[in-house]
Amino acid sequence: MLAFVGAVLSVPMVGSAFIAKGLKGRDLLKPNGRTSGPWIPECLGLPLAAIYLGLMMMFIPFPFSHMFHTSSSLSIGRETFPQGELTLYMTSLLSLLTATLLGFIDDLFDIRWRHKLPIPLIAAIPTLMVYYSEGGWTWVVLPASLGKLLSTLGLPGWEGTKSVDLGFLYYVYLALLPTFTTNSINILAGVNGVETIQALIIALSVAFNDLLFLPIWPDWLLEALHIGNAEEGRILSWAAGEVVKRHLMSLYFMLPLIGVCAGFLTHNWYPAKAFPGDTLCYFTGMAFSAVAIQGHFPKTMILFFLPQIFNFVLSCPQLFGLVECPRHRLPHFDASTGLLQPSLTVFKEPPPFKTKIALEVMEVFGLTRLERGSPDSGAQTKTETNGRKTDGSSTAPPVRIVSATNLTILNLILVHLGPLHEQSLCFVMATVQLLSSMLAFTIRYGVGSLVYGGDRR
Using the rule CB under 8 A, which residue among 5, 58, 346, 447 binds a second copy?
58
* CB of residue 174 to a second copy, shortest distance in Å: 15
- Using rule CB under 8 A, residue 83 touches a second copy: yes
- Using rule CB under 8 A, residue 2 touches a second copy: no
The 108-127 contact track toward a second copy, x by CB under 8 A, reads xx------------x--xx-
- Is the CB of 25 or the CB of 233 nearer to a second copy? 25
Question: Which residues have C-beta within 8 Å of that of residue 299, sequence separation ≥ 6?
Answer: none
Contact between residue 422 and residue 193 where contact means Cβ atoms under 8 Å apart: no
* CB of residue 136 to a second copy, shortest distance in Å: 10
- Is the CB of 87 or the CB of 151 nearer to a second copy? 87
CA distance 344 to 330: 10
CA distance 314 to 311: 5
Contact between residue 422 and residue 340 where contact means Cβ atoms under 8 Å apart: yes
Using the rule CB under 8 A, which residue among 32, 65, 145, 152 binds a second copy?
65
The 135-174 contact track toward a second copy, x by CB under 8 A, reads x---------------------------------------
Among 253, 240, 237, CA closest to 294:
253
* CB of residue 364 to a second copy, shortest distance in Å: 47
Using the rule CB under 8 A, which residue among 29, 93, 202, 293 binds a second copy?
93
* CB of residue 387 to a second copy, shortest distance in Å: 44
Restricted to residues 220-279, the positions that interact with a second copy (CB under 8 A) are: none
The 381-410 contact track toward a second copy, x by CB under 8 A, reads ------------------------------
CA distance 281 to 121: 14
- Is the CB of 128 or the CB of 420 nearer to a second copy? 128
Question: Dihedral of CA 232/234/237/239: which sign?
Answer: negative
Distances (CA, A) of 435 to 411, 425, 432, 440: 19, 15, 5, 9
CA distance 105 to 42: 13
Using the rule CB under 8 A, which residue among 104, 170, 213, 347 binds a second copy?
104
CA distance 182 to 393: 41
Among the residue ranges 86-94, 206-214, 341-349, 442-450, the one whose residues contact a second copy (CB under 8 A): 86-94
Among 292, 285, 87, CA closest to 173:
292
Q: How many residues bind a second copy (CB under 8 A)?
A: 40
Among 309, 305, 327, 331, CA closest to 318:
327
* CB of residue 107 to a second copy, shortest distance in Å: 11
Give the three-state DSSP class for 24. Answer: strand
* CB of residue 65 to a second copy, shortest distance in Å: 5
SS (H, E, C) 353-415: HHHHHHHHHHHHCCCCCEEEECCCCCHHHCCHHHHHHCCCCCCCCCCEEEEEECCCHHHHHHH
Using the rule CB under 8 A, which residue among 57, 166, 172, 216 binds a second copy?
57
* CB of residue 6 to a second copy, shortest distance in Å: 14
Among the residue ranges 97-105, 301-309, 358-366, 368-376, the one whose residues contact a second copy (CB under 8 A): 97-105
Distances (CA, A) of 232 to 63, 237, 283, 295, 313: 21, 8, 36, 22, 43
Give the three-state DSSP class for 164. Answer: strand
Residues of this chain that interact with a second copy (CB under 8 A) are: 17, 21-22, 46, 50, 53-54, 57-58, 60-61, 64-66, 81, 83-84, 86-87, 90-91, 93-94, 97-98, 100-101, 104-105, 108-109, 122, 125-126, 129-130, 132-135
